[in-house]
Homo-oligomer: A and B are copies of this chain.
Amino acid sequence: MTTPASKRTTLSRAYRDGLAEEMARDDRIVVMGTDLYERGGHWAQVTNLGPQFGRDRVRNAPISEAAMVAAGVGAAMNGLRPVVDLNFLDFAFGAMDEIVNQAAKVRYWWGRPVPLVVRGTTGFAGGGAQHNNPIESWFCHVPGLLMAYPSTPYDAKGLIKSAMRGEDPVIFAMHKMQTGARGEAGGPDDLVPFGQAAVRRPGRDVTVVTYGVMAPKSLAAAERLAADGIEAEVIDLRTLMPLDLDTVEESVRRTRTLVVAAEDYRHGGVGAEIAAAMQETLFRELDAPVLRIGAPFAPVPHSPVLLDALTPGADDVERLAREVVKTRQ
């Protein structure tokens, strides 16, 4: 799939390159947010796009999330393709009406496309509870929104490119701890479609479905499991809406077991929907209950020892994968 233009880069740089390529081919794309032009955003997600595209297209905004998103919605309804960059996805709390009651509903009422991207960095890291809220499941519960959560540079680039050519409002999440995640990125024509999960590693014994920062952690767990002869199939969802359950189902039909690995709170996360849907569809095929990995239910603490205790890791994936495999035997 990768063209000759592929090169090793980081997730945030790949996102930026994808956005830059799209901006170059489509001048309806504008980016707005605080501290984008000079600083390149708080996560180096638009480094140098300011000088490259000018102040009209890379707009520093006042701290006013509701205004940015509203402006994005209205502009998207009127021929532009705006990217509202919130820096932290948490700041969407200040624009929730604009996202849920405006962006998401316009097409349903009037058939008018709202090609708007709201990008935010998210996931557990330092910075305390207000800057680390896991809210991807919220957006997946709002009809009218799409939700991307790439875990590799290739997907970050390919998904932002698809988002910029699509017609729907997209929440675009990138994990803090993956800002510098390295890997190949695709070329100008390597789009990643929404709603198509990637099988990162084939395996016959247990399916692990995951996304975001838990994707590499799940792969690490799979390596350790392989050392003991347990072959885990690791599926990276890449987008949470649409949610590619067909790929998951196909895999579970073979492995007859499923572990869902998310960093989000275990209680009520996207993993709950996946588990609920798979036990419905594959009740007779499952050899063990669908198990879920997710964080304990608490605000995200500052102290690194507490943060570590909250954050799911490769160990957890390994442990639950062993548990389902054992249940089966």
Instruction: Report which A residues bind B (CB closer than 8 A).
Output: 90, 93-94, 96-97, 100-101, 104-105, 108-109, 129-130, 133, 135, 137-138, 140-141, 143-144, 265, 267-273, 275-277, 279-281, 283, 286, 288-292, 297-299, 301
- A299 & B97 in contact (Cβ 8 Å cutoff): no
Which listed residue, B140, B281, B290, B298, touches A268 by the CB 8 Å rule? B140
Q: Given A138-B141, A275-B275, A290-B279, verify A299-B108 contact (CB < 8 Å).
A: yes
Q: Give the copy number.
A: 2
Q: Given A276-B271, A290-B276, verify A130-B105 contact (CB < 8 Å).
A: yes
Q: Given A105-B130, A108-B129, A276-B275, verify A141-B265 contact (CB < 8 Å).
A: yes
Question: In the complex, what's the smallest C-beta–C-beta distance from A163 to chain B, in angstroms?
Answer: 20
Cα A118 to Cα B140 with chains together (Å): 24
Q: Given A100-B133, A283-B289, A290-B280, verify A299-B268 contact (CB < 8 Å).
A: no
Q: Given A140-B268, A143-B265, verify A93-B97 contact (CB < 8 Å).
A: yes
Question: In the complex, what's the smallest C-beta–C-beta distance from A9 to chain B, in angstroms?
Answer: 33
Cα A143 to Cα B130 with chains together (Å): 12
- Name the residue of chain B whose CB is nearest to the CB of A298: B143
- B299 & A289 in contact (Cβ 8 Å cutoff): no
Closest 6 CB pairs of A and B: A275-B276, A93-B97, A283-B289, A272-B272, A93-B96, A272-B276
Which listed residue, B143, B270, B298, touches A108 by the CB 8 Å rule? B298
Q: Given A130-B101, A137-B141, A299-B105, verify A268-B279 contact (CB < 8 Å).
A: no
Which B residues lie within 8 Å of A129 (CB)?
101, 105, 108-109
The winner among A100, A129, A268 for most chain B CB atoms within 10 A is: A268
Which B residues lie within 8 Å of A279 (CB)?
275-276, 279, 289-290
Which B residues lie within 8 Å of A101 (CB)?
90, 93, 129-130, 133
Cα A281 to Cα B90 with chains together (Å): 33
